[in-house]
Structure 1
């Protein structure tokens, strides 16, 4: 499997899992979603917001790659969230709509990637303003891994309140 094909699979898996997570979370009330459950970002809605924050930060960084990918044009104009724990949307349905749009953009981004882009380096600054230069392909892998990590936290929080998200394994999305 090529790097590009791997990231297209990850984008498809990401979208599928987010749909599952949001469908499961929609069974909870606004107060249940906002209840601090001791997770790193407190609540279910706090963690879902953090995933969206992380996606925004990384896609804005990727948008500055010298290849100037067309799919990321939107992110060249987007303001960065103020903090990693920013609540972009307190309202679950608004958050869900933003997630749907984000996942669509991520699918477009993954389809536009090339080996030349993935094997190149990206210079960026972290949230503290410290400069870095790293392999673009490895950064895209981190981008997807970050989402998976925090979705695992959300599935645990949902399980603790009796909601089963269902199958979460990438394995079921890998084609024959």
Structure 2
């Protein structure tokens, strides 16, 4: 059952890393840019995406990296990428075991109960929304954002391909 989630979470990680790579080339002034309707500036949004990704898994598994527990923010792209990789690896490890989507999970804050399947959906949705906000900021700066759709992921990673045209 968990195999069907493989591409969803691999895409999630891949898209964040592609966007991190593009944004690592920006100036400090560009990184400080915000847009109406966005979480915050580019660095704040990346920290939010990566911390939240690890926090959603913490709710499901009880395991958390030290940087999550300390709510340790970073403006270093190498650190952000390493954390994104660690979160991705932790999700991948989590999905090696059966997951009951109906299992009720109480969030660490203790004030909300949710089915595991809905929390997994939220984890993917959350990252997508905030990556799109970063893409909107890039567009406002006159920078073409990278294609981070699942189509691009599938093509780049060999999970999809163009078929030869019939002549």
Tell me the TM-score range normalised by the shorter chain. 0.7 to 0.9
Where in structure 1 are there 5+ consecutive unaligned residues?
65-72
Q: What TM-score, normalized by structure 1, do the two folds share?
A: 0.74
The residue aligned with 1:68 is: none
The structure 2 residue matched to 1:149, chosen from 129, 142, 149, is 129
Find the aligned partners of 1:61 and 1:105 in 2 and give their Cα distance.
13
Aligned-partner SS, 1:123: strand
Taking structure 1 as reference, are residues 76 and 158 closer, same or farther at Cα in structure 2, changes over 3 Å only?
closer
Looking at structure 1, the residues matched to 82 and 122 of structure 2 have their Cα atoms a distance apart, in angstroms, of 24
Map 1:58-69; keep pairs closer than 5 Å. 58-64=56-62
Match of residue 54 from structure 2: 56
Give the number of aligned pairs: 156
Runs of 4+ in 1 over 6 A off after TM superposition: none
TM-score, normalised via structure 2 length = 0.77
How far apart, in 1, do the equivalents of 2:57 and 2:29 lie? 30
1:108 to 74, 82, 93: 93
Give distance in 2, aligned partners of 1:6 and 1:40. 31
- How far apart, CA to CA, are the structure 1 residues paired with 2:141 and 2:67? 35
Where structure 2 has 5 or more consecutive residues not aligned to the other structure, the ranges are 162-167
